[in-house]
Amino acid sequence: MHNKTIAELSRSLQQGDFSSEELTRHFLARIESLDGALNSFITVSAERALSQAKQADQRLAKGENGPLIGIPLAQKDIFCTDGVKTSCGSKMLDNFIAPYNATSVEKLNVAGTVMLGKTNMDEFAMGSSNETSFYGAVKNPWNTDTVPGGSSGGSAAAVAARLIPCATGTDTGGSIRQPAALCGITGLKPTYGRVSRYGMIAFASSLDQGGPLTRTAEDAAMLLGAMAGFDERDSTSIDTPVPDYCAELDRDLKGLKIGLPKEYFGEGLDSGIGDAVHGAMDEYKKMGAEIIDISLPNTHLAVPAYYVVAPAECSSNLSRFDGVRFGYRCENPKDLEDLYKRSRGEAFGAEVKRRIMIGAYVLSSGYYDAYYLKAQKVRRLISGDFKQAFEKVDVIMGPTSPTPAFKIGEKADDPITMYLSDIYTIAVNLAGLPGMSIPAGFANNMPAGLQIIGNYFAEAKLLNVAHKFQQVTDFHTKTPDAFK
């Protein structure tokens, strides 16, 4: 059962080949027996999952045919889940039981999904390797000596190891796409505002966006269809209709114009990753697509701009964690100042502290214009690059990550090198565009990801382009040997 896609599982459930309860027990057993090698889960909610599975079976027995009824999944531990711990991978929220559901969780519950648990992640989503989690590093199922990427590494590793059919993630600078690439699965970051951020613990409010991590583009279309939509509780949510993402999956690609940015193929790109991307271009040519060389001249400014904007917003968002209302509180504080200092000092990890301090600095009097305001101007330049490119091409393609998965600990003491892991993904968030990563081969025996970037609200186009590629290749069907 664990080798079936969501689409295949849905058909089997509708036909009565097995029940949602049987399916749920199967995946819970896999998590129990196999996740010790990965550390991909923070919380397993078995009792709740079995209750939801029984409810799904009742709906199926009544003849309901929703595509996600009875499908097991996991939620990244950044989404609030009523009555279940929501830790955000942190010591600060290790004792926090959310009193409500995030909108994405709510929507997926209504669709009939079964939540098996909450997946591990970098602390407060700050990291590119899933090594900053309070609960320990997540391991890549293709090689457990390597990282799965971050911050949605737990979700990506669990899907890649077939511990779950699908999971949610969040993407602030590549945190869905980069782990999807490193783990050999499909990950989609929607247009900013497409999926509600209500109940998703904020890191950088103008960049964060939730989305699906799945095995295939078809599965991603099914999951996104349930997650997307306007939410009046989220001021950044955009009120625009949600299309049927599955309806256009099989559209012919003849005449498709693919832009290949020269800036994505320079120094720092692993040759094996480059070969995988160029191999993918050959497949698209066979399907009738046209490859056009383009330039995104401000790409080199994306990382420095991001690491001003994101820390500035995180320093503001994380100020709510003060030891007063919820979360960790130090013992026996002398006064209010001592409570603030020691609660934050004891509960925040090194990377979170680093970003809070950078953010506070760039927002401070005398430095705001020099750093934060300038970074926002650069952001406009980056958006302008994409706008010009989409006047010539339908989609933009390139590598998702410059290298395959690296060894655990290899970059832990070098933040700058770690930040460069997201060099190809960050610009998409700064511009608010949709982007996705799909498996495109292997480099050094580890998965290589192809990134596909679209214009605003072009998720259906991205899913169509990805699905057609997956119909003529089998990279997305590969499973790590230890988890078959």
200 located within any domain: yes
For the chain, the domain total comes to 2
| Cα-based torsion angle of the residue sequence 319, 322, 324, 326 in order, rounded to the nearest 10 degrees | 80
Look up residue 138 and give its two tokens. 């997540």
Distance CA 15, CA 86 (A): 35
Asked whether residue 219 falls in the same domain as residue 353, the answer is no
pLDDT (tens digit per residue) in 317-368 = 999 999 998 899 999 999 999 999 999 999 999 999 999 999 999 999 889 9
Q: How confident is the model at residue 121, as a pLDDT? A: 98
Asked whether residue 79 falls in the same domain as residue 179, the answer is yes
Among this protein's residues, is 62 annotated catalytic? no
Among this protein's residues, is 175 annotated catalytic? yes
382 located within any domain: no
Question: If DSSP states are collapsed to H, E and C, what string results for the chain?
Answer: CCCCCHHHHHHHHHHCCCCHHHHHHHHHHHHHHHHHHCCCEEEECHHHHHHHHHHHHHHHHCCCCCCCCCCEEEEECCECECCEECCCCCCCCCCCECCCCCHHHHHHHHCCCEEEEEECCCHHHCCCCCCCCCCCCCCECCECCECCCCCCHHHHHHHHCCCCCCEEEECCCCCCHHHHHHHCCEEEECCCCCECCCCECCCCCCCCCEEEEECCHHHHHHHHHHHECCCCCCCCCCCCCCCCCCCCCCCCCCCCEEEEEHHHHCCCCCHHHHHHHHHHHHHHHHCCCEEEEECCCCHHHHHHHHHHHHHHHHHHHHHHCCCCCCCCCCCCCCCHHHHHHHHHHHHCCHHHHHHHHHHHHHCCCCCHHHHHHHHHHHHHHHHHHHHHHCCCCCEEEEECCCCCCCECCCCCCCHHHHHHHHCCCHHHHHHCCCEEEEEEEEECCEEEEEEEECCCCCHHHHHHHHHHHHHHCCHHHCCCHHHC
Q: What is the pTM of this model?
A: 0.96
Asked whether residue 331 falls in the same domain as residue 411, the answer is no
Closest CA to 155 of 173, 126, 178, 134: 178
Asked whether residue 369 falls in the same domain as residue 465, the answer is no
Look up residue 50 and give its two tokens. 């079995």
Distance CA 441, CA 427 (A): 24
- 291 conformational bin, left if phi > 0, alpha if psi -120 to 50, beta if neither: beta
Q: What count of other Cβ atoms lies within 10 Å of the Cβ of residue 19?
A: 17
Helices 459-472 and 271-286 meet at what angle, rounded to 10? Answer: 90
Helices 6-15 and 217-227 meet at what angle, rounded to 10? Answer: 70
190 located within any domain: yes
| Contact (CB, 8 A) for 228 and 195 | yes
Distances (CA, A) of 43 to 88, 131, 202, 370: 11, 17, 20, 43
Asked whether residue 168 falls in the same domain as residue 227, the answer is yes
Asked whether residue 346 falls in the same domain as residue 466, the answer is no
| Contact (CB, 8 A) for 234 and 102 | no
Distance CA 481, CA 326 (A): 43
Distance CA 427, CA 379 (A): 8
| Contact (CB, 8 A) for 332 and 299 | no
Q: How confident is the model at residue 460, as a pLDDT? A: 98
Closest CA to 466 of 54, 177, 127: 177
**Which entry of 90, 133, 175, 196 is annotated as an active-site residue?**
175
270 located within any domain: no
Distance CA 483, CA 145 (A): 15
92 located within any domain: yes
387 located within any domain: no
**Which entry of 45, 76, 107, 437 is annotated as an active-site residue?**
76
For the chain, residues with pLDDT lower than 70 are none
Q: Specify the CATH number for the domain of residue 106.
A: 3.90.1300.10
Q: Which residue has 């509708």 as its token pair?
A: 14
Asked whether residue 323 falls in the same domain as residue 362, the answer is yes
Closest CA to 401 of 264, 216, 261: 264
Asked whether residue 180 falls in the same domain as residue 315, the answer is no
Distance CA 89, CA 87 (A): 5
Asked whether residue 361 falls in the same domain as residue 417, the answer is no
Q: How far is CA 460 from the centre of its chain?
A: 18
Asked whether residue 321 falls in the same domain as residue 244, the answer is no
268 located within any domain: no
Domain boundary among 377, 406, 428: 377
**CA distance from start to end of the chain:** 11
Distance CA 455, CA 459 (A): 8
Q: How confident is the model at residue 282, as a pLDDT? A: 97
Q: How confident is the model at residue 415, as a pLDDT? A: 83
Asked whether residue 215 falls in the same domain as residue 350, the answer is no
Q: How confident is the model at residue 413, as a pLDDT? A: 83
Q: How confident is the model at residue 299, as a pLDDT? A: 94
Closest CA to 126 of 178, 206, 203: 203
Closest CA to 134 of 43, 42, 44: 42
Domain that holds residue 435: 6-256+392-483
476 located within any domain: yes
Asked whether residue 78 falls in the same domain as residue 223, the answer is yes
**Which entry of 151, 237, 401, 421 is annotated as an active-site residue?**
151
Distance CA 210, CA 348 (A): 23
Beta-bridged to residue 384, according to DSSP, are none
Q: How confident is the model at residue 419, as a pLDDT? A: 84
Q: How confident is the model at residue 357, as a pLDDT? A: 95
Among this protein's residues, is 33 annotated catalytic? no
Distance CA 431, CA 389 (A): 13
